[in-house]
Structure 1
Amino acid sequence: MKIVLGPLLIMQGRQVRATALRLPEAAGPRAADGSALRLLIVGDSSAAGVGALHQDDALAGRLAQALAVRLGQPVGWQLIASSGHRSEQALAAFEKAEVAPADVLITSLGVNDVVDQVAPPRALAALDRIHALAVERAGVRLSLHCAAPPMQQFPLLPQPLRWFFGRQAAQFNAALGASVAGDASRRVLYLPEAMQRNAASLMAEDGFHPGPRGYALWAEALADCICSHRGIGPR
């Protein structure tokens, strides 16, 4: 199918890149102190908060708020993320960064690997290395890898490119799930049902990134997952 649609998919991909609305990364600090729990967030434009004006309304800020409510204390966090990063690029940025101690690693990667047609084993090897380095350098006890979103619902993408990327994202997620199966220190976080079902209505104006409501739902799902994991909490 890819061979048959190849020329059309390439043309559509070029048109999307040329005409897509470019939103900035969320403004605000990329780290905060807290005593209840310490988060390390590594990723791409969604991790960086594109689609929200400020980090308080993006993934990192919303997650810290959700966890603080559950734990009754402020949550510390550090964000290492850049728009356009594939998993290998995120690994390179992480390797160069000064990393603070953390309890939980959260990765938001995969969309750019799909867009740039990076083979899942290559992308997942970079995720494996990010996890290993987070354990080694930051003392992380749990890694949550966010699955790729339902790209078949992205309003920015025309058909059949939307369908094709959705299929590729599902394949990435299947490989990601298989790669961490049986490892108690690593889990895959799939987007909550509301985001799977109504992704387009929760997206920013660019039709590609979450808006503030989407980030809030995503953060609540992450907070629930973190709090349900045995052994995660204040040291």
Structure 2
Amino acid sequence: MTAVNILSGGAAQGLVRGLAAAFKAQTGFEIDGEFGAVGIMADKLRNGAAADLIILTRALVTRLADEKLVASSSIADIGVVETALAVRASDAKVAARTEADLRDVLRDADAIYVPDTKASTAGMHVAKVLDQLGIAYEVAPRLKVFPNGATAMRELSTSNAKRPIGCTQATEIIATPGLALSGALPPGYDLKTMYTAGVTTRAVNPAQASTLIDLLVGADQRELRLRAGFAG
């Protein structure tokens, strides 16, 4: 199988999958690679993992370009993703329009599903939010931490808890069957992250990687990006 290899944050997984057929029709190439916590994906590239293309936060892509691991001329922003709350599709949605709302929602949950709190964009933000709210110690026994947002959301979708909730990138929530997007975090606790693509300097298939970036950011794919949870 001829494939473009990518290292990507989990936030882009649904969008990439949605473009796989169009990409193959245009290039004859499949898309292969890994999706996970952005910090771990960046370190994989630093440690020599084979990749033609990366999709990470803008800050990380810029840093990797400074480290001569990504071609600066190839860098392109895909869109902004919000960190949001998730519930099982069968559960009532929760609203967190204020700090007090958010504190109550998290206190009421008997299980809180989140991605890696040290290496993922959303997970690190959740840890910060819990500290800001002053409830980190209180909810720690109910915190269910997984390697990435996609895994955390799959576990939430099959949770046997009575009042579980999840918090990760909106794109990962939307891409998980059995879940419902329950809204963004309130002002002062919200997070909007720009995700950015770039061709690596060790790319084996740089032309095809550039074609995939064109698809990811193209105006004709705007509706797909919006459905996947990306904003301009």
TM range (shorter): 0.3 to 0.5
Q: State the TM-score, normalized to the length of structure 2.
A: 0.34
Say which structure is richer in strand. 2
Q: Which structure has greater helix proportion?
A: 1
Q: Which has the larger radius of gyration?
A: 2
